[in-house]
Chains A and B, each alone.
Chain A
């Protein structure tokens, strides 16, 4: 196999239908960019989950009776609950917060809204246990074990609010994947079409190649490499697209929440970590599409 020959055929092929090639590259770039975006959202969600779940805790609220009469959880019902919580597997720490403390915390939280403070009396707030888990994902164990127990008014899984938030992110990610998939389909059709056009414009060459006994590899490889080269250029563009979107759009948009520590920052490293997958996808898609097209639609 003469590499220089195949290489020059590839260059000729790409130059000869330059508009199709550009369309193919751009479509591939957009579809890979969306795929990369989806993958970045996945990374973001993972990181946010660790950050947020570390901050969340499960709260077990006591009945009014305990809240009113047992300020330090020394009575039998409360302390047995405390012990039971501490001995539950997966529980890291358990802290007791009596009614007064709850009210103080409430006052801190709503210091800016005095009208709330007017409405709420300490008697309305229950005492509670705040439970930190070694694995925040397993909060439902606590919820199941302690809901409805004697002395327990309610169990609040702090994770639930976050779950809704992450569901939203998951939706964004899925939408990105679906659009990426549709775009990938368009890219696939374009690759297939470009190869067919390319084969048609070179039918004389290919006819002669077959006639003088060139092997299938020799006749088909230039077309395949053409598709792969276009795919790889598309992948490079998509990485550029992601870096651009990150630097000029995402970083600016999310500047305040990032500074506040609400949203973790996506680094250039994240984009680079995602990019091998984009390159791999580009190669796999272009090779398979190219091969199938040559087998089914082009008689070489």
Chain B
């Protein structure tokens, strides 16, 4: 054995002694810049505010109302998103049909569209007149006005969140073996039964992930809400608009406190997502 070692040329021995440290140093160093930025942002926010500021902000009735509306609207938007994302994600994942590429592109539009444009488009949709008919008036006659009311908040959040939920569900269904559905059909299932009894139970984690992502996206939504629902205190104000409103009246301490509250809510949602360990890249 020792005789073999002595025959190894010296330049090959040097290769064996090469360390991986520079590789990890460079990769880790580049990665650390982004992590450091995020941590510094949070630390700066934390240093800026105090517990008393935080408490003072949270006891304000308008902020409490905003918190209630945020939790309610995000939850409704997330449930609606899942309701649409399951069938749409399934169809996009499983079938090749005419104009599928177009539907796929349309689903992505809310993701790439500037938020204000989305809000403006919603506003135009509800107020455009087709002859004498107008969607907002029609809904108003039915006793369900949308614009500048809480339904507008939900719709604005849903418009963006749903796109992310569809993407998540599509990846989920991509990962489920379609053969299980085929076998279920030979055992006596209709397509619907095969979907409900075999595929949907396998998609459970993806559904939780889609709901969580939709909820988190709804929480961060601001532009479309501002344009379509307005930022009326105690009526259409959610936490993202609270930050804007507090800033606009010079209440920086309150704005930072509410921002930190949103950070905490986002972290809880992201932790749930990680704990579920879905492994989905959305």
Q: Do A and B come from the same complex?
A: no
Interface residues of B (CB under 8 A from A): none
